[in-house]
Every structure is written in structure tokens, then in C-alpha cells.
Amino acid sequence: MLNYSTTPHAHLPKAACAEIELYDIAKIRPHEEIDLGYATELARKIGSSRVFTTPVVVERKHGVLLDGHHRFHAMRCVLKAARIPAVVIDYDDISFTAVGSWRENISVTKQDVINAGLKGPLMPKKTSRHTFFFTIENVSTQLHELQ
């Protein structure tokens, strides 16, 4: 059973409310590379607990993955899930998110993220840094529900 709730920050507009849905994992387009060792270890932990807890964040219009690349890889490539809990947002709506970079002297725009997800090449891991203006609550989704 998918148990979830999302609670906006009290000071944010109502538009900042987000819902979690089970998203078709085949439709997700990553925009960053990953650390394969970390993703494999994460898959082992998720697999042993048999529960997925932290939703990914996906851009609505194109299916570009904004947050959760290692969780996505663990679920799709290692655990072979068909669906994944996701917060799906309108990336053009400034009330939901802003983007910057984890890396000094590198500027990242929302269009850079979309282009990397749609056309490539993927950005190096931990390049984009998204700030979300809503709370993403953990879920408790059994892995068998995601097959």
C-alpha cells in the first residue's frame, strides 16, 4: 500500500502543495550521471528492506528526473521496478523549484537540465542542485507494489 502525505511549508503559497504518485519508471529521463557503486549499495539496502521510502522528483512536461538519480537507477536497473513513487512538478512554475549547482564556477539553468535529460550528454554527477519549495514526505511502499 502506498502511504504518503505531502505537507507544504506554512509560509509557502498553496501552489507549493505536491502529491506523490506511482510513476512509470520507463518514462523517466535522467539528466545526471551517477556513482554506480553508491547506486548498487542503495539497491542492496532497498532490496533487503523490501520497502521504498524516498520519492524521486520528476518534471511533468518531459519526464526529466530532477532529484533521485541513484534511487532511480537502483529501482530501474538493479531491482527492475516498473513504477516508482514520484513527486511530479511543473518545472516552469517558479513556486515549486529553483536550480543552481553544487560545483563552484558552474552555472546551471532549468533549460540546461531539460536539454541534458532530453538530448544529452548527461551532466556529471552532483552538478545540478535543486531547491524545492515544498516538503517531500517519505513513503512506505512495498517493492512488490512497484513491479
- Is the residue at 134 inside a domain? yes
pLDDT band, residue 113 (cuts 50/70/90): very high
- Looking at residues 10-33, what average pLDDT do you find? 77
The predicted structure's pLDDT at residue 12 = 42
Whole domain around residue 125: which residue ranges?
18-146
pTM of the entire predicted model: 0.88
Tally of structural domains, the chain: 1
Q: Is the pLDDT of residue 15 over 90?
A: no
pLDDT per residue as tens digits for the range 40-65: 999 999 999 999 999 999 999 999 99
Establish if 9 belongs to a structural domain.
no
C-alpha span between 101 and 79 (Å, rounded): 30
Distances (CA, A) of 6 to 1, 9, 32, 58, 134: 16, 10, 26, 15, 8
Share of the chain above pLDDT 90, in %: 79
In a domain, 6, yes or no: no
Question: Does residue 131 belong to any structural domain of this protein?
Answer: yes
Q: Where are the beta strands (DSSP E) in the chain?
A: 20-24, 51-52, 56-59, 65-67, 83-89, 97-101, 128-132, 141-142
Residue 133, domain CATH: 3.90.1530.10
Residues 1-9, mean pLDDT to the nearest whole number: 37
Residue 8 lies in a domain: no
Average pLDDT (78-103) is 94
Considering the domain boundaries, does residue 142 fall inside one?
A: yes
Task: Assess if residue 40 is contained within a domain.
Answer: yes
Q: Is residue 139 part of a domain?
A: yes
Which pLDDT belongs to residue 18?
Answer: 67
Residues 114-125 have pLDDT tens digits of 999 999 999 999
